[in-house]
Amino acid sequence: MDRRTLGTQGLDVSAEGLGCMGMTWAYGTGDEEAGIATIHRALELGVTFLDTAEIYGPYTNEELVGRAVAGRRDEVQIATKFGFRLNPEDPYDRGTDGSPENARRVCDESLRRLGTDHIDLYYQHRVDPDVPIEETVGAMGELVAAGKVRFIGLSEPAPETIRRAHATHPLTAVQSEYSLWTRDPEDEVLPTLRELGIGLVPYSPLGRGFLTGQIRSAEDLPEDDWRRTNPRFQGEAFAENLRLADRVVELAEGIGATPAQVALAWVLAKGDDVVPIPGTKSPARLEENAAAADLQLTDAQVAELDAAISPDAVRGARYDESGMAMLNN
């Protein structure tokens, strides 16, 4: 697995990371044994950039990651996130909390759950519009000075927020949804990041699994799968989006790779400052995804994929109304 560098501060990570969320949360019932096996296989293949968060579970995902890397901490780069006000009885009932107190408290709790003395990349999961970003990032910078955090970032911020945050303390990465069917960062976020020397970490680079061609109906998803409530997986939007996924399948056949590999190779082709974090809880899927790092698309193939799934062809919002309200703040 090749390596890439995030930010001008120089966080060295694997060219592809591993999103760990689905191992315990959101995409059907979790399987701790399979999750740990997936992380171990990732390390064998050189996929060392692991992404988790306080809210995944909540809490259980960080604990799983901590158990998986016990005794191997020096081999991995761990990214985790804070920034929500959690309801312990309903993990989907949440608001933002970007207070300095929350940034410090969650950091200490995440360190304990992860079983480590430092976090490699600490993100604010969603920007809190009620707390000036300078206050939040100022507290994150203090955690860097204290040695608890190596680098900091934001998830789904607006371009102006990125500028204000970066002026307070250098950002190493911004995490945003980015894939063939979510091209939003290309408009303003990615140009801003490149101007400032900040890396992009795309989550859901496989369109929440849709671009793999394996999901043919909502019935293919577990009953407790969060995607059943996602607008892009509903009714007419699902049918329209299925045609786009089929186009990726068709193009992948011509390239001689799986749809997942082609979708990931497309993201990787968008720049050496881009490090996607496809999620899986299956060692076999992990192996398939990791192989995408060796798939070099031609400029013509990238352009063909660009045209095959144009941003205005995708149907449905990325989240429900409450989720959309937390983006681009």
- pLDDT per residue over 277-311, tens digit each? 999 999 999 999 999 999 999 999 999 999 988 88
SS3 string, 61-102, reads HHHHHHHHCCCCHHHCEEEEEECEEECCCCCCCEEECCCHHH
Which percentage of the chain shows pLDDT scores above 90? 81
Whether the predicted pLDDT of 4 surpasses 70? yes
Q: Is the pLDDT of residue 315 over 70?
A: yes
Query: Is the per-residue pLDDT at 11 higher than 80?
Result: yes
pLDDT, mean of residues 133-138: 98
Average pLDDT over residues 139-158: 98
- Is there a contact between 177 and 323 (Cβ–Cβ < 8 Å)? no
Over the stretch 157-179, which tens digit does the pLDDT of each residue have?
999 999 999 999 999 999 999 99
Enzyme catalytic residues: 56
* HSE of 271, CA atoms in CB hemisphere, 13 A: 17
Q: Tell me which of 226 and 152 has the higher pLDDT.
A: 152
In whole numbers, what is the pLDDT of the chain averaged over residues? 94
Mean pLDDT of 35-51: 98
The string of pLDDT tens digits covering residues 253-272 is 999 999 999 999 999 999 99
**Residue 166 burial by Cβ neighbours in a 10 Å radius (0-12, 13-18, 19+):** buried
